[in-house]
Amino acid sequence: MAFVALSGAAAASDPEVCVSGSGHVCLYLHAGNQGCAAHYGYNDPNYRNNSYDFNPYHPSWNCDLIGLNDSISSITNRGNYCDTFHYRHSGYNGFERIVLRGAQVSDLAGSDHNDALSSHRWKRFNGYYYENC
Ligand SMILES: [Ca+2]
Ligand SMILES: [Ca+2]
């Protein structure tokens, strides 16, 4: 999407983490990959003490002040090998939402997951069942 326009930007943050091949999952405060973004190459069992990292469109904004828990409204999986499982509760509990590798959910509104996610982990389907990555 609009990330293309940011190539080469000398921002303090790093929009490149959310492009294809980054190996990260990107979580956004608003629908359509808008607002502050957080990115992960690893699991996180509890968002409660975590914040967003940056706003790709407004690099000077201080997203560190915005809590990640119960606020995510869109997701892009830029993983290279695995899918991501997103959960309503911490500890990988509660109703889950799977975002396949390379896929995105541009708007969680209307689902039980909008402004509700509290943890995520990477998993891979081995042909029989999902295993942790
Ligand atoms: Ca939101
Ligand atoms: Ca929650």
Q: Which one of the ligands is nearest to 114 CA?
A: 1
Residue 78 has pLDDT above 80, yes or no: yes
* CATH classification at residue 10: 2.60.20.10
**Residues 77-89: what's their mean pLDDT?**
97
Ligand 1 centroid from CA 53, angstroms: 15
pLDDT, greater one: 10 or 52: 52
Residue 1 has pLDDT above 90, yes or no: no
| pLDDT, position 20 | 84
Q: What's the whole-model pTM score?
A: 0.86
What is the per-residue DSSP string for 57-116? Answer: T-TTS-GGGSB-TTT--EEEE--SS-EEEEEEEGGGEEEEEEE-TT-EES--TTSTTTTT
In the chain, the largest separation of any two C-alpha atoms, in whole Å, equals 46
Three-state DSSP at 31 gives helix
Q: Which one of the ligands is nearest to 75 CA?
A: 1
Domain that holds residue 33: 2-132
For 112-127, write each residue's pLDDT tens digit. Answer: 999 999 999 999 999 9
Ligand 1 centroid from CA 64, angstroms: 15
Overall number of domains in the chain: 1
Ligand 2 centroid from CA 81, angstroms: 26
Residue 22 has pLDDT above 60, yes or no: yes
Ligand 2 centroid from CA 95, angstroms: 10
Round the average pLDDT of the chain to a whole number and report it: 88
Residue % of the chain over a pLDDT of 90:
77
Residue 45 has pLDDT above 60, yes or no: yes
Q: Which one of the ligands is nearest to 47 CA?
A: 2
| Ligand 2 ion: residues within 5 Å (CB) | 70, 88, 116, 118
